[in-house]
Amino acid sequence: MVNSPKDSKKSSKNKEEQTTVLISRLTTPLGAMFVGATENGICLLEFADRKMLETEFADIQKRLNAVILTGKNKHILQAKREVEEYFEGIRTVFEVNLEPIGTDFQKTVWEGLHQIEYGKTRSYQQQSEYLGNPKAIRAVASANGMNKISIIIPCHRVIGKDGTLTGYGGGLERKKWLLMHENKHNPNKEGNEKELRLF
């Protein structure tokens, strides 16, 4: 499901080859979001008021030698349907193709995030241990914060060791809402309620 193209550096060096990234807007119960995609998959899903949004656009442009245009393709249309179904509480797994843009380490961390199941949470320490590098908590947390594909790559499911909410690019209120939403619609909700009582 997750595409990890190895030719990003090559394309950035070749000024004659440009990647087109299409951007579209969607409305959610938590506010407007932007969804972006290459021909390979989704590379961006962020709340429109995210403070680092312009930085993320610039990073995508630099790494892919990309031109960003308003528009839609099949990946954007699919992502919009799936995000809508997620907020309706009828989708727990996303199937749209992804093309996360970042360093190799960041992609490894994001793939780890992608493995956290709907309705479950993991602490930063647990995530570091899952990735086989228990001492890299700060590096892992930093990579989490650089995730450009919110909700689908669920960085909101990473919480503090004591169960408290910690930083989230979309804001802590949204993070809490997403976790409560997933707890409510989780078909295997038993066993996760203790974590949610700590919020």
Q: Could you read off the pLDDT of 123-133 as tens digits, one per residue?
A: 999 999 999 98
Q: Could you read off the pLDDT of 130-153 as tens digits, one per residue?
A: 999 888 899 999 999 999 999 999
Q: What is the pLDDT of residue 94?
A: 98
pTM of the shown model: 0.85
Q: In a 10 Å sphere around its CB, with 0-12 CB exposed, 13-18 middle and 19+ buried, how is residue 93 labelled?
A: exposed
Handedness of CA 101, 79, 75, 119 (dihedral sign): positive
Round to whole Å and give the CA distance between 113 and 76: 21
Catalytic, 43? Answer no
Find out whether 156 and 179 touch, Cβ atoms under 8 Å. Answer: yes
Per-residue pLDDT of the chain (199 residues; tens, 9 = 90+): 555 444 444 444 455 588 999 999 999 999 999 999 999 999 999 999 988 899 999 999 999 999 999 999 999 999 999 999 999 999 999 999 999 999 999 999 999 999 999 999 999 999 999 999 888 899 999 999 999 999 999 999 999 887 888 888 888 999 999 999 999 998 776 545 445 544 4
Side chain identity at 169, as an amino acid letter?
G
Q: How many residues does the chain have?
A: 199
Q: In what helix (H) or strand (E) does residue 10 lie, and over which residues does it extend? A: helix 8-13
Q: What is the pLDDT of residue 190?
A: 59
Q: What is the pLDDT of residue 165?
A: 85
Side chain identity at 101, as an amino acid letter?
I
| DSSP codes of every residue in 127-172 | HHHHTT-TT-HHHHHHHHHT--BTTTS-GGGEE-TTS-----TT-H
Catalytic residue among 155, 159, 178, 179: 155
pLDDT averaged over every residue in the chain: 88
CATH numeric code, 19-185: 1.10.10.10
Q: Could you read off the pLDDT of 176-192 as tens digits, one per residue?
A: 999 999 999 987 765 45
SS (H, E, C) 92-138: CCCCCCECCCCCHHHHHHHHHHHCCCCCCCEEHHHHHHHCCCCCCHH
In the chain, where are the structural domains located? 19-185
